[in-house]
Amino acid sequence: MPTDMTPDGKSAQSLAPLGPGATIGILGGGQLARMLTMAAHRLGLKTHIFCPDTESPAFEVTPHHTRAAYSDADALDRFARSVERVTYEFENIPVGAIAILEQHCPVMPGAKALAICQDRLAEKRFLSGLGLVVAPFLPVETMVDLNQARQRLAAPAILKTRRLGYDGKGQQHIGTDTESGAAIAALAGAGAVLEEFVDFDAEISIILARGTNGEMASYDPARNTHENHILATSTVPAGLPAHVSKMATRIAEKIATAFEYVGVLGVEFFLCGETLIVNEIAPRVHNSGHWTEAACAASQFEQHIRAVAGWPLADPVRHADAVMQNLIGDQVRAVAAGESVPGCKIHLYGKNEIRPGRKMGHLTRLTARAR
């Protein structure tokens, strides 16, 4: 057996494009998996969702799902045998699960991107290693580390756990009067990174797709706003000078190429003057790319499915101007009860329970493209 073949005979290196009606397995059953599934359906493909949660939004949009823990080797094994490829909607999949799946079936994007993006420290070192600008940072595990880091970095700073943080979870603001002991105690033994706070002029993001043959396609940059650490809006066009847009795209391409990436990658930047500081990378479709589904012929979800399927990428051309607004918690109520919002494309995630801070859906306001 050649070394690039899995035991089931599916080649992980030289992949044939998926044929009509093929099934892509997706780890995770949230709104991203739901939207990936809908994009797969538009292309005549199927998905099979693997998720431990009973009420997974993606379970409602496909007849094929497995509800099981990511540690359930038998369930993972059966799942991998029922699909042609596996992808995931979030980066915190246990690496053990990926190893089991890869016995049967290619898993995309690759393990390299996943390993790095699961660990904020590895991610920042990786980005620095590529010569990209990141906020000054230092690793922190103990109170001694933290006190040393506070002396070397400017205040204020942010203490972020290395693993499992999202939407501001696992983050602490460290001001000049913050007590180091309490901050370390709040980590509960988790490793962390202290980062200098960046006083940015704008937050922008690039959504890029890379195919199995190395071709890349980027959407126009979005200008993002956050509220309570959660994405609130994405606006396109972002109103950036052309050379800044181009630079952001080149940086995202550099990251994707270094990862030998296959699929859609989200890169968030802070813009300070004309300097682009890479804030975070997400090895998956990204909330700040939801506008593509309304304003482009091919959405980020379609691009990801195309890449994973080994298909040519679509043209990321945009036919309208767009402002995407997340519907967080109670913000969804009127729309979920039937209200229409003139000029806005509505997308609800079918979540039964409204909770504060929970992403329930999004609106995209579309206007004829300025020429």
For CA atoms 283, 288, 291, 297, give the dihedral sign: negative
Cα torsion through 12, 16, 20, 24, rounded to 10:
10
Helix-strand-coil percent breakdown of the chain, rounded to 5? Answer: 30, 30, 40
Whole-number minimum distance, CB 59 to a second copy, in Å? 7
Whole-number minimum distance, CB 227 to a second copy, in Å? 22
Question: What is the rounded distance in angstroms from the CA atom of residue 258 to the CA atom of residue 278?
Answer: 15
Q: Which is nearer to a second copy, 170 or 263 (CB)?
A: 263
Give the strand pairing for 46-51 and 65-67.
parallel
Question: What is the rounded distance in angstroms from the CA atom of residue 53 to the CA atom of residue 356?
Answer: 19
Q: Which is nearer to a second copy, 18 or 32 (CB)?
A: 18
Whole-number minimum distance, CB 366 to a second copy, in Å? 4
Whole-number minimum distance, CB 319 to a second copy, in Å? 4
Cβ proximity of 196 and 157 under 8 Å:
yes
Give the residue carrying structure tokens 């030998």.
260
Whole-number minimum distance, CB 83 to a second copy, in Å? 15
DSSP 3-state of 203: strand
Q: Which is nearer to a second copy, 224 or 364 (CB)?
A: 364
Whole-number minimum distance, CB 152 to a second copy, in Å? 49
Cβ proximity of 25 and 82 under 8 Å:
yes
Query: What is the rounded radius of gyration, in angstroms, for the C-alpha atoms of the chain?
Result: 21
Q: Which is nearer to a second copy, 200 or 311 (CB)?
A: 311
Kindly list the residues in this chain that would bind a second copy in the complex (CB under 8 A): 17-21, 34, 38, 41-46, 59-63, 65, 294, 297-298, 302, 306, 309-315, 317, 319-320, 336-340, 342-352, 361, 364, 366-369, 371
Q: Which is nearer to a second copy, 166 or 311 (CB)?
A: 311
Q: Which is nearer to a second copy, 176 or 352 (CB)?
A: 352
Question: What is the rounded distance in angstroms from the CA atom of residue 140 to the CA atom of residue 158?
Answer: 11
